[in-house]
Amino acid sequence: MIGKILRTMRRKSNLSQEQIGQLTGFARNTISQYENGINQPDFKTIEKIANICGYQITFYNAKTKDKLTTDNIDREEI
């Protein structure tokens, strides 16, 4: 599922796999493997790609309506 999200973010940002690869330091093939579910990126990589595409990762609590992002929590809590 994360691969589909990464692909959608990239496409909506009008970026190629090659461009994402250059901006992240990964090979285009690695980006393709993430998008196709062959390899799973770690959270730091997902966050990096999201930021490049202009997205922010948000965790939403459906019960309390609380939102957590990597910007509004202390990194030491992770």
User: For 23-40, what is each residue's pLDDT tens digit?
Assistant: 999 999 999 999 999 999
Domains in the chain, please, with CATH? 2-77 (1.10.260.40)
**Mean pLDDT over all residues of the chain?**
92
Q: How far apart are CA 41 and CA 31, in angstroms?
A: 9
User: For 8-17, what is each residue's pLDDT tens digit?
Assistant: 999 999 999 9
SS3 30: helix
Confidence at residue 71, expressed as pLDDT on a 0 to 100 scale: 78
- Check whether 73 has a pLDDT greater than 80: no
Q: What is the dihedral of CA 69, 74, 76, 78, to 10 degrees?
A: -20
- Check whether 42 has a pLDDT greater than 80: yes
- Check whether 76 has a pLDDT greater than 60: no
CA-derived radius of gyration, the chain: 14
| DSSP per-residue codes, 54-71 | T---EEE-TTT--EEESS
Give the number of other CB atoms < 10 A from CB of residue 18. 12
